[in-house]
C-alpha cells in the first residue's frame, strides 16, 4: 500500500491576528495537488486555532503544537487533548525538539503524551531527532530508536501516528541533512519499526523529514524512497510552502 505524502506546516510561536489572516488567504489561494495525493496540515499557535480552523480551505487540516499529558484539571497554562477534540482540531504535534530541549520533555513523557492524545481520537505528529553532538559521536540511530521506543512502549495502534525525523542541528539553522543522510535515517527507522513493532506498521507508517526544508531543497528530498513528506518550519509561513506541497508531484512529472 502506497503511503500518502504528508506535509505539515509548524508556525511555531509566530504571527499576529492580521498576519495569520494573510497566511490563511495565501494558503486558500494556492494551487496544490488533490488531497488524494498529499495530506496537508498546518499548525498555528493555540490562540489562533479556532480562527484558522474556521477559515482555512477544507482540504487542509489544522494541528495544535502541543497538548497536556492527561485530562485537564489543575494544570495552569496547559491545553488538554480533550479541549482540542472539543474545538474540532484533529491533530497535534508532540515531542518537538524545542520542547524536549527547552522544557526538558523526556522520551517517556513524550510517549505518554502521544498515547493519551491518540486515546481521545487525535492524530499525532510525533517528533524525534538527534543533536549535532549526538550525530558527530555516531549515536544518531541509538538516539532516535530510544525516542521511538518510548512511543512504541505506550502505543499499540499506529494508524494515526506520523513520525517526524528532525535532526536538531538542522532546525532553523539553514543547515539541512543531505538527501542521502535523511534517507539513511528514515530507512533505519523503518527497519527498527519492522523489527520492534511489526512489518505492517513499518510499511504503512509515514516518516516525514523536518529541518530547514524549503522550496529549493524539497524536491530532491521528496525523491527519496523512505521520505514520506515534510514538517516545515519557517517556510510554512511563506508562499514557497505551496512549492513544498507540490514537491512530490513535481518530482514524479520529472522522472
Cell output for 97: 525538539
Which of the four CATH numbers 3.20.20.70, 3.30.1360.70, 2.40.50.180, 3.40.50.1100 does domain 5-70+77-254 have? 3.20.20.70
- Of the pLDDT bands very low, low, confident and very high (cuts 50, 70, 90), residue 126 is very high
Query: Is the pLDDT assigned to residue 117 strictly greater than 50?
Result: yes
pLDDT in the model for residue 255: 45
- From the list 167, 98, 173, the residue with the least C-alpha distance to 139 is 167
For residue 1, the model assigns a pLDDT of 57
Domain boundaries, the chain: 5-70+77-254
CA distance 20 to 45: 10
* In the chain, % of residues over pLDDT 70: 97
Q: Please pick, among 96, 98, 130, 186, the residue that the annotation labels catalytic.
A: 96
- Tell me how far apart the terminal alpha carbons of the chain are, to the nearest angstrom: 21
Which candidate in 39, 116, 166, 186 is catalytic? Answer: 166
* Stronger pLDDT, 252 or 216, i.e. the higher one: 216
What is the model's pLDDT at position 177?
87
pLDDT of residue 252: 53
Closest CA to 174 of 213, 148, 143, 203: 213
- Read off the pLDDT of each residue in 137-142 and give the average, rounded to a whole number: 96
Catalytic status, residue 194: no
What is the pTM for the complete model shown? 0.96
Residue 47: pLDDT above 70? Answer: yes
Is 130 catalytic? The answer is: no
Amino acid at each position: 500500500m502506497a503511503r500518502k505524502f504528508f506535509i505539515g506546516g509548524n508556525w511555531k510561536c509566530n504571527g499576529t491576528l492580521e498576519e495569520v489572516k494573510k497566511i490563511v488567504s495565501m494558503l486558500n489561494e494556492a494551487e496544490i495537488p488533490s488531497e488524494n495525493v498529499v495530506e496537508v496540515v498546518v499548525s498555528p499557535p493555540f490562540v489562533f486555532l479556532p480562527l484558522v480552523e474556521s477559515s482555512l480551505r477544507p482540504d487542509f487540516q489544522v494541528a495544535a503544537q502541543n497538548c497536556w499529558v492527561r485530562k485537564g484539571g489543575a494544570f495552569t497554562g496547559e491545553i488538554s487533548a480533550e479541549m482540542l477534540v472539543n474545538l474540532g482540531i484533529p491533530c497535534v504535534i508532540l515531542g518537538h525538539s524545542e520542547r524536549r530541549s527547552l522544557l526538558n520533555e523526556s522520551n517517556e513523557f513524550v510517549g505518554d503524551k502521544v498515547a493519551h492524545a491518540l486515546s481521545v481520537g487525535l492524530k499525532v505528529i510525533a517528533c524525534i531527532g538527534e543533536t549535532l553532538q549526538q550525530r558527530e559521536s555516531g549515536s544518531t540511530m541509538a538516539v532516535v530508536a530510544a525516542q521511538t521506543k518510548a512511543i512504541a512502549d505506550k502505543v499499540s495502534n499506529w494508524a494515526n501516528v506520523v513520525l517526524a525525523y528532525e535532526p536538531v542541528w538542522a532546525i532553523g539553522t539553514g543547515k539541512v541533512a543531505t538527501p542521502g543522510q535523511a534517507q539513511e535515517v528514515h530507512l533505519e527507522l523503518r527497519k527498527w519499526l519492522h523489527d520492534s513493532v511489526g512489518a505492517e506498521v513499518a510499511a504503512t507508517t509515514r516518516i516525514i523529514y523536518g529541518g530547514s526544508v524549503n522550496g529549493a531543497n524539497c524536491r530532491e528530498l521528496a525523491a527519496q524512497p523512505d521520505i514520506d513528506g515534510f514538517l516545515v518550519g519557517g517556510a510554512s509561513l511563506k508562499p514557497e510552502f505551496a512549492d513544498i506541497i507540490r514537491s512530490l508531484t513535481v518530482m514524479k512529472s520529472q522522472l
